[in-house]
Chain A
Amino acid sequence: MVSIKKVGEIESAPLELLGEPLVWFFAEHYRHRDLCKRLLQLIDVVEFDRNALNAILEFLECDLPIHILDEEDDLFPLMRKRCEPNDHIENVLGFLSGEHATDMHDASAVKCVIAKAISEKRGLGCYSESRSVIEQFCTGLKGHIAVENAVVLPVARVRLTETDLRNLGRRLAARRGLPDPFPEAS
Chain B
Amino acid sequence: MIDTLIRNNMAWARARMRAESPFFMRLSEQQATEYLWIGCSASQVPANEVVGLDPGELFVHRNMENLAPSRDVNFLSVLQCPLKVLKVGHSIVCGHYGCGGVRAALDSDRRGLIDYWLQPVADLAHRCAERLDAITDFTTKVNDTCQQNMRAQVEYVGRNRFVFDAWCRWQTLAIHGWIYPIRDGLIRNLDLTVEKARDVETLARRSWCPDG
Contacts and interface: CB of A to CB of B under 8 A. Distances in A.
The answer to whether A and B belong to the same complex is yes
A37 interface: no
A77 B186 contact: no
Q: Name the prevailing secondary structure of the B interface residues.
A: loop
B1 interface: no
Contacts of A81: 191, 211-212
A77 B137 contact: no
A120 B116 CA distance: 53
A77 B210 CA distance: 8
B192 to A, nearest CB: 13
Interface string B165-183: 0000000000000000101
A175 interface: yes
Contacts of A73: 181, 184, 186, 188
Interface in A85-115: 101
A77 B181 contact: no
B184 A77 contact: no
Given A73-B181, A101-B137, A80 B186 contact: no
A166 interface: no
Category for how many chain B residues contact A: 10 to 19
Contact of A80 (B181, B183, B188, B211): B211
Contacts of A76: 211
Given A80-B209, A80-B211, A81-B211, A69 B137 contact: no
A76 to B, nearest CB: 8
Contacts of A80: 209, 211-212
Interface string B127-147: 000000000010000000000
A70 to B, nearest CB: 9
Contacts of A77: 188, 210-212
A101 B212 CA distance: 23
Interface string A62-77: 0000100100010011
A178 interface: no
Nearest to A81: B212
Nearest to A65: B183
A76 B209 CA distance: 12
A32 interface: no
A68 to B, nearest CB: 11
B184 A175 contact: yes
B139 to A, nearest CB: 10
Nearest to A171: B186
Interface string B195-211: 00000000000000111
Contact of B184 (A69, A78, A101): A69
Given A69-B184, A174-B186, 18 more contacts: A69-B181, A69-B183, A73-B181, A73-B184, A73-B186, A73-B188, A76-B211, A77-B210, A77-B212, A80-B209, A80-B211, A80-B212, A81-B211, A81-B212, A101-B137, A171-B186, A175-B184, A175-B186
7 contacts: A66-B184, A69-B183, A69-B184, A73-B181, A73-B188, A77-B188, A81-B211
